[in-house]
Amino acid sequence: MNLSMKSVKSIALFLAIVSLEIVSIFTPAFTQAANLTLTKDTLQSSRISWAGRVKSPTIAGSAHVWIYTAASAPYNSISTANLAPGDALTIGTGSYTVESIVDADEFTLTANLATGDADDTDPIYFAAKPQHVITFTTASAVSNGFFQVLLPADATTPNDGKPDDGGFDFGAGSITLTPTDASGYVFISAYNAATASGDTGCTAPANYHCFEFHYSGTGGNGVAITLTIGNTTGATTPIAPAPAAAHVGTADSYKVIVKNFTPGANPNTATPTDQTSTSIALIESVRVTATVDPTISFTITGVASGQTVCGTGSTTDIDTTAGLNAPASVPFGTMSLNTFKTAAHLLTISTNATNGYTITAVEDDQLGIGGGTTPAIIDTACDSGPCTHLAEQSWETASGHPGFGYSLGAGTGATMAFSNANTFKTKQFAAAVETEAPQTIMSSTGVSDSHTGYICYRLSVNATQAAGDYENLITYTATSSF
């Protein structure tokens, strides 16, 4: 008991230190999981899937599909707004391709519906399969661990290969996982695992698909990590959700969770070292359309002499490609008695108007001296006539059959009003002065791209024709059909 006061203090200090050590050994500090930062799930496309229903009067053997405009979960797509030409659809059990969108509740397919695929309420699916690129920054160094990504899944049918209204569908197949190595993280592809919601090892949390990315290395703090789920072709990619119930044109939002585990941890039960969540939103695609202005264009081109454009046996004598006002004139020049002179023009028309076009011709009057009324070169009556402005006849003999008329020669695409039949089938021009309606010479009932046709003019005079310069005016009018 001769201990000095100094000794007592030393012993007390020693015991205090030992006690603290013991307490510290038996009472480990709680580890607080940190947040992974800058976490994003970038989708290849934010386009939502489509799940609707066939509606009567859709029938097998037709390519025309009507859809229900009232939702009945899980078929909440009630408009064609998220469909586009070229989309691959599953209708009933068959595979089809959208050809065109008719309106809000009708579209057409490239092939007719098969029996059994056109029944009322048969399902229609379009599966959007966007690749997921998940990026984040680590919060701590976990050596030789693994990352787990959880994608929200449907509660009832998470892996049937059809779009769901409650989350991503696993796709009834394999999923490609592609991590990118980073400093301290060398990923081991063989250990990657993609497990559908509810399958072994992917039960908690419920209704999530599980994707594990295992790595070797020391890990690190503040390292940017990139993990990819699926491929860009959609072949091994989860199916994006279809519209959720009560989806009204706004985006459906889903939560994606990312966790970092230590090696050997059971992700169903273990607490991750670090974790975070991020949200993704899916919405109908915007159907991009481009408008091409409807238009109609019409061109008259001259035809050189020596051409056979209105049937064999009728060669053009007059060159309408050159000269004053060419090609807007037919300069017959000085006529020999009882001899034909023939000239021609090429008419070209294009229109993207769906109902096609018509070209009509009308003359102001018969060829008259100085453009006057009399004397006139009469409109021809043809050989065994009479041909009229409504009915064509052959006109191959100049002598004894004077006058002025026209024939038609086929070009490309257009429907000509009549055929020359190689005998210079001829009509008179309708005469405005006689209140005759302009006559159609070329037409088409659909879109036309550079339809062409020839019009050939023929003139013959006899000895009784008074001398002078004879003229008239022919008007060609091109209009679209309505």
Partner 1 sequence: MTKPATFSRTIFFITSLIVILTLSLTGARQASAADIGLSINPPLLKVVVRPGKTITNVYKVENLSSTNKILIARLIPFTTADDQGNPNIDPRATAPWLGYFSLANSFIKLNEPFEIKSGQSEQLILSINIPITAPLRDLYATLLVTSYGNSVASSLQGTTLSASIGSNLLISISSSATPSTILKITDFIPEEGKYLKIGDYYILDNITPIFFTAKARNEGDFTAETKGIFKIERNEKEPINMQSVLPQYVLSKSQRKLANMEDDKFYFTPRVGLLGKYSAKIDVRSESSNASTQIDIIFFPGKILLGLAAVLIFLNIIIKFSFSSKTDTSPY
Site for partner 1 contains 174 (CB under 8 A): no
Q: Is 440 in the site for partner 1 (CB under 8 A)?
A: yes
| Consecutive H or E run containing 14 | helix 5-26
Interface with partner 1, residue 460, by CB under 8 A: no
Nearer Cβ to partner 1 (33/326): 326
Count CA within 13 A, CB hemisphere, residue 150: 24
Based on the shown chain and the rule CB under 8 A, indicate whether residue 295 belongs to the binding site for partner 1: yes
DSSP letter at 361 equals E
Count of residues that bind partner 1 according to CB under 8 A: 70
Query: Which of the ranges 29-37, 186-194, 251-259, 442-450 carries the binding residues for partner 1, by CB under 8 A?
Result: 442-450
**Residue of the chain from 12, 172, 328, 390 that contacts partner 1 (CB under 8 A):** 328
* Contacts with 131 (C-beta within 8 Å, 6 or more apart), sequence order: 43, 44, 228, 229, 230, 231, 232, 234, 237
The correct pick among 94, 161, 331, 375 for binding partner 1 (CB under 8 A) is: 331
Is residue 421 a contact partner of residue 313, using CB atoms and an 8 Å limit?
Answer: no
Secondary structure of 194-209 as H, E, C letters = EECCCCCCCCCCCCEE
Strand residue runs (E) in 19-137: 37-43, 50-55, 64-67, 88-91, 94-103, 106-109, 123-126, 132-137
- Distance from C-alpha of 451 to C-alpha of 444, rounded to nearest angstrom: 9
Regarding 147 and contact with partner 1 (CB under 8 A), the answer is no
Under rule CB under 8 A, residue 446 binds partner 1: yes
Does residue number 121 form part of the binding site for partner 1 (CB under 8 A)? no
297 binds partner 1 (CB under 8 A): yes
The binding track of 97-116 with respect to partner 1, each residue x by CB under 8 A or -, is -----x-----x--------
Among 53, 345, 401, 451, binds partner 1 (CB under 8 A): 345
Residues forming a β-bridge with 413: 452
Could you tell me the smallest distance in angstroms from the CB atom of residue 290 to partner 1?
A: 16
Which C-beta is closer to partner 1: that of 196 or that of 417? Answer: 417
Q: What residues does 95 pair with on adjacent strands? A: 90
Sign, Cα dihedral of 47, 49, 52, 58:
positive
Torsion of CA 415, 417, 420, 425, to 10 degrees: 180
The residue behind tokens 């001899």 is 339
Q: Give the residue, chosen from 111, 245, 246, 437, that forms a contact with partner 1 under the rule CB under 8 A.
A: 437
Does 438 engage in binding with partner 1 (CB under 8 A)? yes
Residues that bind partner 1 (CB under 8 A): 57, 59, 61-62, 64, 102, 108, 293-302, 318, 321-335, 343, 345, 351, 353, 355-358, 360, 362-363, 367, 404, 432, 435, 437-438, 440, 443, 445-446, 457, 459, 469-482
